[in-house]
Amino acid sequence: MALQQHTRSHSFPSGSSSQQDAMIQVDESLLCGSTPSSSSSAKNRVNSLQKLHESINGLLLLPHIQRAIARECPRLDEITEGYVVALDACAAAGDVVSAAKRDAQELLSGVRRRHAEAAASSYLASRRELRKVARTQKWLKKIGKRQSLGKGCEIEQLMMDAKSATLATLSCVFSYVVSSERKLVGSKRAEQTEFTKVDAALIAFMNNGDGDMIRDDHLLRVMESSIRVVEEGLECLFRQLIKTRVLLLNVLSH
């Protein structure tokens, strides 16, 4: 789901050029395309979110921005609490990625110890459980089109957009990790990921004994490496989100 980019009035009190650079960076980060098709694209999405919140945190540290918030932003407490949703979403994505990493490691170990059938069966069962977990995520229902606050404090709109971008990107990453090979059958728009390729190889192996793709463990090692990259990015993002919320709480308390 994409968030439509929009033009800001940049009505903050005048400040340094770094403030304007940060605002531009925030605007450029408020986009999320389709589900990532590789660990590189997933990593880039998460890194973009990190930069987004680094920019926001830099703005929230500026004294004149803090004064403007205190004076002009009556709904900031509501938006601050909204970041609890973003933190929960990031934590949930991290949990799913960690579970996927564990499953990949167990699958790789089973294949190397020539217990491929048992390992494949266990892995596919765990993947089904992860998809059930995905369906229970309430925060996924909070993703929608950009909400406009109309006239008001621009930092409120900025924070609302940042939260929306965060949830949309985490949803994309979530889908990337738990996407099902079966759901891609007949779909011309969906691209195969490391995960769906492994799913396809294991399903073929379980159905007709074609184990060529899993006997060569290169694909499994690529998937395991991909998961580790995404997991590290989510850990960094979680720390940035905590910092963002702490800074907002500090502004509200003064």
DSSP symbols for 184-217: HTT-SSPPP-HHHHHHHHHHHHHHH---HHHHST
In a domain, 233, yes or no: yes
In a domain, 187, yes or no: no
In a domain, 44, yes or no: yes
Q: How many CB atoms lie within 10 A of CB 103?
A: 22
pLDDT tens digit string along 98-108? Answer: 999 999 999 98
In a domain, 133, yes or no: yes
pLDDT of residue 181: 55
In a domain, 69, yes or no: yes
Query: What is the pTM (predicted TM-score) of this model?
Result: 0.80
In a domain, 13, yes or no: no
In a domain, 182, yes or no: no
pLDDT tens digit string along 193-227? Answer: 888 888 888 888 888 876 666 666 788 888 888 88
pLDDT tens digit string along 122-131? Answer: 999 999 998 8
Show the domain range for 100.
18-144+160-177+192-252
Provide the domain count of the chain: 1
